[in-house]
Structure 1
Amino acid sequence: MKLSRIDVLLMAFCTGLIVANIYYCQPLVILVAKEFNLTESYAGRIASLTQAGYALGLFVLVPLGDMFERRKQILLITACAVAALLLAAFSHAFWMLEISCVLIGASSIVPQLILPMAANLSADENRGETIGIIMSGLLIGILASRTVSGSIGFIWGWRSVYFMAAGICSLLLVLMAKRFPISKPTFNGTYKDLVMSMGHYIKTQPVLREASIINFLAFAILSAFWTTMVLFLANPPYNLSSLQIGLFGIAGAAGAMAAPLVGKLSDSKDPRRNLLIGLLLQLASIATFYLTGNHLYLFAIGILLIDIGQQAIHVTNQTRIYTLVPEARNRLNTVFMSVSFVGASSGSALGLWLWDMGKWPLFCLGTTIVILINICIYMLLQQND
Structure 2
Amino acid sequence: MMAELQSVQAQHITRTKPLSQGLVLLMAVSCGLAVANLFYIQPLLGDIGRTFHASAEKIGFVSMLTHIGYAIGMLLFIPLGDIKERRNMIAVLLVVVGISLIGVASAQNLLWMYIASFAVGITTITPQMIVPLAAQLALPEVRGKVIGNVMSGLFIGILLARTVSGFVGAMFGWRAMYAIAAAMMFVLAYVLWRQLPRTYPATALSYGQLMRSLVSLIAQQRTLREASLIGALSFGAFSVFWTALTFYLEGPHYNYGSEVAGLFGLVGVVGVIAAAYSGRLSDKVSPARLVGCALITVCISYLIFGLLGMTIWGLIIGVIILDLGVQGGQVSNQARIYSILPEARSRLNTVYMVTYFTGGAIGSSLGSYAWSLWGWGGVCVVGGSMSLLAFIIWFVNYMTDKKRSASL
2:272 aligned residue: 256
Match of 2:112 in 1: 96
Q: Residues of 1 paired with 2:322 and 2:336: CA distance?
A: 21
Residue 357 of structure 1, CA deviation: 2.0
Is 1:135 matched with 2:165? Answer: no
Q: Check conservation: 1:285, 1:305, Cα contact below 8 A.
A: yes
CA–CA distance in structure 2, aligned partners of residues 38 and 265 of structure 1: 46
Which residue pairs with 2:283 in the alignment?
267
Partner of 2:76: 60
Give the SS at the match of 1:291.
helix
Counterparts in 2 of 1:244-323, with a 5 A limit? 244-323=260-339
Which residue in the other structure is 1:365 paired with?
381
Aligned to 2:101: 85
Percent identity for Structure 1 against Structure 2: 38
SS at the partner of 1:27? helix
Q: Which amino acid aligns with 1:216?
A: A
Contact 2:238 2:383 in 1 (8 A): no
Deviation at 1:145, TM superposition (A): 0.4
The offset of 1:373, in angstroms, is: 1.6
The CA distance in 2 between the partners of 1:355 and 1:333, in whole Å, is 32
In structure 1, the residue matched to 2:5 is none
On the 8 A contact 2:275/2:325 being kept in 1, the answer is no
The within-5 A match list for 1:209-248 is 209-248=225-264
Distance 1:294 1:256 in 2: 24
Letter in 1 for 2:141: E
Aligned to 1:123: 139
- Post-superposition Cα deviations, 1:180-213, rounded to whole Å, max 9, x if no partner, equal 0101011212211000111111111111111001
Q: Distance in 1 between matches of 2:177 and 2:382?
A: 32
Residue equivalent to 2:368 = 352
Runs of 4+ in 1 over 6 A off after TM superposition: none
1:258-297 CA-to-partner distances (Å, cap 9, x unmatched) read 2331100111241211111111111111111112354201
Deviation at 1:349, TM superposition (A): 1.1
Give the aligned CA root-mean-square deviation in angstroms: 1.3
1:253 maps to a residue whose letter is V
> 2: CA distance between counterparts of 1:255 and 1:261?
11
Q: SS in structure 2 opposite 1:77?
A: helix
> Could you list the runs of 5+ residues in structure 2 that have no partner in the other structure?
1-16
> Which of 309, 333, 341 in structure 2 is aligned with 1:325?
341
Partner residue in 1 for 2:351: 335
> How far off is 1:356 after superposition?
2.0
Q: Distance in 2 between matches of 1:146 and 1:332?
A: 29
Superposition TM-score, scaled by structure 2 size? 0.92
Residue 346 of structure 1 and its aligned partner are, at CA, apart by 0.6
Contact 2:105 2:176 in 1 (8 A): yes
Deviation of 1:92 (Å)? 1.1
Amino acid across the alignment from 1:17: L
TM-score (norm 1): 0.98
Tell me how far apart the structure 2 counterparts of residues 179 and 30 of structure 1 sit (CA, whole Å).
Answer: 39
1:210-248 per-position Cα deviation (integer Å, ceiling 9, x unaligned): 100110100110011110111111101101101111111
Query: Structure 2: which amino acid aligns with 1:188?
Result: A
Deviations 1:56-114 (A, max 9, x none): 11100100111110001101111110100011111111111111111111111100000
Q: Which runs of 5+ in 1 are unaligned?
A: none
What secondary structure, in the 3-state scheme, does the structure 2 residue paired with 1:91 have? coil
Residue 40 (structure 1) shift: 2.2
| Number of positions where the alignment pairs a residue of Structure 1 with one of Structure 2 | 385
Q: In structure 1, how many angstroms separate the alpha carbons of the residues matched to 2:309 and 2:18?
A: 51
Q: Hey, what's the Cα distance between the residues in 2 that align with 1:259 and 1:16?
A: 16
Distance in 2, matches of 1:215 and 1:225, equals 16
Q: What amino acid does structure 1 have at the position aligned with 2:205?
A: G
Between 36-45 and 218-227, the greater mean CA deviation after superposition: 36-45
1:14 corresponding residue in structure 2: 30
Structure 2 residue aligned with 1:36: 52
Indicate the structure (1 or 2) with the bigger Cα radius of gyration.
2
1:50 aligns to what?
Answer: 66
Shift of 1:146: 0.1
